[in-house]
Amino acid sequence: MLKSKPKNIALIAHDLKKRSLATWVFNNQTKLKRHNILATATTGGIIQKHCPQLRIRVTKSGPLGGDQQIGAMIADDGIDLLIFFTDPLSPHPHDVDVKALSRLAVVYDVPMACSGATADLIAASGYLD
């Protein structure tokens, strides 16, 4: 099968969802490894430990501007997929940044998964092949 060109994929998870995102990445690393992976600092560090063979570029941590950095990349057409496992049951000091990031993903029509079920559907869709 003809492979599509590597995509720029941003990975982010709130604290209580980091383990679940790391597991999702581990389970999908065969598909992910030929793409350019970007993550916010803490999320990226945890995923890197679970998946040492993936090359992960990191931004600042979310509360320190990482969500905004990824939002700016979306506005520059630099992100093809956003996997952002959000935790709707905990307060976040940088909630405005979280909202701004998900808003920009919609403005620029970037595919976005906020939970495992949607991320699984995207992985099964052929988008990463």
Ligand X SMILES: O=C(CO)COP(=O)(O)O
**Distance of closest approach, residue 52 Cβ to ligand X, in angstroms:** 18
Find tokens 């598909």 and name the residue. 31
Q: Rounded CA gap, 124 and 21, in Å?
A: 16
Active site residue 67: yes
Structure tokens at 43: 């999320």
Judged by CB, which is closer to ligand X: 15, or 129? 15
For 89, which DSSP code? T
* Per-residue mark of binding to ligand X, 17-56 (x: CB under 6 A): -----------------------xxxx-------------
CB 10 within 8 A of CB 38: yes
Task: For 12, list phi and psi in degrees, rounded to 5.
Answer: -145, 145
- Measured from the Cβ of residue 24, the count of other Cβ atoms closer than 10 Å reads 23
* Per-residue mark of binding to ligand X, 83-122 (x: CB under 6 A): ---------------x------------------------
* 65 lies in the site for ligand X, by CB under 6 A: no
> Which of residues 62, 104, 105, 113 is near ligand X by CB under 6 A?
62
Start-to-end C-alpha separation, the chain: 9
Applying CB under 6 A, the residues found at the interface with ligand X are 12, 14, 40-43, 61-63, 66-67, 98
Active site residues: 67
